[in-house]
Amino acid sequence: MDYKNYIASKLNIDGVTSEEIASLIVTPPDNSLGDYALPCFKFAKIMRKAPNMIADDLAKNYVVDDNITKVIAVNGYLNFTVNRTAMVTNTINKILAEGENYGASNVGEGKTVCIDYSSINIAKPFHIGHLSTTVIGGALYRIYKFLGYNTIGINHLGDYGTQFGKLIYAYKTWGNKEEVEKGKIKELMRLYVKFHDESEKDATLDDKARNYFKLIEQGDEECVALFKWFKDLTLTDVKKVYDDLDITFDSYNGESFYNDKMDVVINELNDKGLLKESDGAKIVDLESDGMPPCLILRSDGASLYATRDLAAAIYRKNTYDFYKCLYVVAYQQNLHFKQFFKVLELMNKPWAKDMVHVAFGMVSLEEGTMSTRKGKVVFLEDVINKCVEKAYAIINDKNPNLENKEEVAKAVGTGAVIFGALSSSRIKDIVFSYDKVLNFDGETGPYVQYTYARCESVLKKAGEIGEYNYTNLLPIEYDLVALLTKFPQVVLTASEKYEPSMVTRYAVDVASCFNKFYFDCKILGEEENVKNFRLALTKATKTVIKNALSLLGIKTPEKM
């Protein structure tokens, strides 16, 4: 039963629709207060009464029934207690019937969401700094699909700019095909670092690099072939990491794709009187909006990020007719997105309001900061591999006879990396710690995965689950079921707030509550009726944990 809508349908508040009432109903932090609560503060202005008087009046007029057994007013809140026996049975039956679809919905049916994430740079390392954008974007991609949206994952490749001229010069001067084929991105990065080291001694190298990039733009056969080769090598190399993290994309259209689409944007800006000249450059003046000017063309006529982002946004709207277009990019780019979105608004694009910058904090290792130019980077592939190795050592120590140890270690190690990056609110900076993310007893991926395996172990020992008619619920049993009922709402709220960490924290809460239930309540040794109920509750918990982790891109080993 959808209790919020059921409750709302039985309340009559002048000037407020049933849907609006349902949207205001919340779950109290302590279910001893009730299972649902309606804050009455928002009705004070309409009804011209104090919130506590409104709550009192509504409580007096509400007729309890077999579904809602108690209604009381407390400090301006209207608290509802449901028929807990019926709710528990209905919830468990629903979860077991829907299985991997529990929590899914068709709320997004007919709507398209574009998600621009990961967006790696060609011929540059896929490093720890790319972790957040990749896993946040990947989780949002799965969450929106789960909610019925047509989801388009876009890897807006950094495949344009003078760095490619630098790389071509470095390759032709100090590199060779065999070494690049062998070392791939790491060798390309070595050449890139070499260029910067040498250009500090010889300033003319920057001019030579610019010339090589110009040759790419002009379609020079050799330079374009090298550029394409570097791009293919990069995508082949990073695919391994994307596969490990269960990341997929529907488009790899990068910056270079919009080369021939920028003139239309520039002409439109000019026609609408938005393009101004400033020191030889072309800008859109945003002073009246409290922002610096948005630079569209440099004084030498070269385009910039904003130019290409404007062209990309218009292309995406024309191609996908999106409901929302998300950009999962670090908070350092806040100003860029504010400017870029404002320019679209000034161009009278009604869909400018549907553009969203999903900002996040920085990821660093305990060892300190990174610099691509100086070659001080930590490859994401190396971080994942190290976590997998450490997970293998832990598993080998705790359960040396476990089958498929390598496969389990990979699921645990990779899951630890993803869970660690998604464990806090996305806007927070993260200091990545191997020991912390691999702690089997903390609020981590391995802890939740281990709880899933514990559920599986109980169910395997028990065999088939028989019928039950259990009414004498213990508080911990009800608490666990009440938590399981929240999953669909958690997923929906995570999509509305663009916050996958809500699913992560929820998974920890479920695991923690189940483990308390597991230690407080005997399962297999109980009489048949109680045993069957607790087995059904265990299976429902296992299902919800799996569904939550799958939205994050984390696998669930059945033995650990």
CB 192 within 8 A of CB 146: no
Q: Which of 293, 258, 259 is nearest to 279 (CA)?
A: 293
CB 338 within 8 A of CB 291: yes
CB 370 within 8 A of CB 128: yes
The dihedral built from the CA positions of residue 176, 178, 180 and 183, taken in this order, carries a sign that is negative
Q: Which of 266, 315, 324, 259 is nearest to 294 (CA)?
A: 266
Buried b (16+ CB within 10 A) or exposed e, 152-176: bbbbbbbbbbbbbbbbbbbbeeebe
What is the helix (H) or strand (E) element at residue 37, kind and residue range? Answer: strand 36-39
Amino acid at residue number 21: I
How far, in Å, CA of 489 to CA of 509, rounded? 15
How far, in Å, CA of 78 to CA of 96, rounded? 32
The dihedral built from the CA positions of residue 166, 171, 175 and 179, taken in this order, carries a sign that is positive
Please report, for residues 291, 312, 356, 543, the alpha-carbon distance to residue 325 in angstroms, rounded to integers and kept in the order given: 22, 11, 6, 31
Amino acid at residue number 177: K
The pair of structure tokens assigned to 339 is 């400017």
The pair of structure tokens assigned to 478 is 């009800």
Q: Which of 252, 240, 6 is nearest to 121 (CA)?
A: 252
- What residues are annotated to the active site? 124, 127, 130
Long-range pairs for 52-55: beta carbons < 8 A, 24 or more residues apart:
52/76
Q: In this structure, are strands 275-278 and 281-284 parallel, antiparallel, or unpaired?
A: antiparallel
CB 326 within 8 A of CB 115: yes
